[in-house]
Structure 1
């Protein structure tokens, strides 16, 4: 009798074990979906893109005739700045020195006005301001909307009032140079 109880218990255990295995195999075989977590990791970015013309270019003003000295000269530079920013931003401009220089001779940087151009290839928003160049950071664009590859065209202007003044007249002939720095700053 003891032997039949043990055989019955073993048979019962075998049935339960086989049923559990079959159920587990059926549950695995019937699974038709899986779940994966996807993360998007963001960092704040503000960048003047490498395609910006202002990055390493030169703007030339030539005074070769009396008419040149007696007129306003304007140089329009499309795609001067291309900015990508994850937040609203300002664009500032400043001269890296107080004068355009040629050896010991100089022309003050305030002969030059830099103007944001609306229309054309410009896609940058915000409030534009014309800037008379100085060594202080000045807002060229205030409160530009965030975006990717936002374009700003610029005009460089030397007004007739400056080109026909002692700021430029009477200076020795030659090329006077100064660097201009643009900075995009997130708000």
Structure 2
């Protein structure tokens, strides 16, 4: 009989402890989620300045005696996690056609009237082989666009900088650099 009481007590204890264990089980779980950020600054694909061409044509006397402006939409599309500057420079001091040359300072680059979504202080830049600020302190953002006007003023096209040069195509590269602040 003592055995039965002990067995019953143990069975009863196991039932109580078993029920208690079921109630003590976890019903929630937590997980840590990490987001790792890196600083990014990029002139994005879709920028017409990447591999693009700006072509001025002087075919008539009127062309030489007037300002010529070519507007390029989405010239630059920049994504940056910090405020940034955009600088511009020519690949050398002259537009070149064989041994003939035209100084790069005949060209002015500036933000177009409909400048795009890029903020900051925009400057008119007379092109040179040295870097110049085209946009200063542009606020961070994603796929910010800048539309550019390329202008050769009549004062340059009707001067000896261009007049008297042999016919042909004169070429120079223009490089844009976005730099985080």
Superposed counterparts of 1:1-187, under 5 Å: 4=2, 12-28=9-25, 31=27, 33-118=28-113, 120=114, 122-187=116-181
Compute the TM-score of the two structures, normalised by the length of structure 1.
0.89
TM-fit CA distance, 1:9: 6.1
Q: Spell out structure 1 runs of 4+ moving beyond 3 A.
A: 6-18
Scaled by the length of structure 2, the TM-score of the pair is 0.92
Quote the offset at 1:10 in angstroms.
6.4
Deviation (angstroms), 1:61: 0.3
Q: Give the unaligned 5+ runs of structure 2.
A: none
Deviations 1:64-110 (A, max 9, x none): 11111111110011111011111100000000111100111111101
Count of residue pairs the alignment pairs up: 181
C-alpha RMSD of the superposition: 1.9
| Alpha-carbon distance in structure 2 between the residues aligned to 1:173 and 1:136 | 27
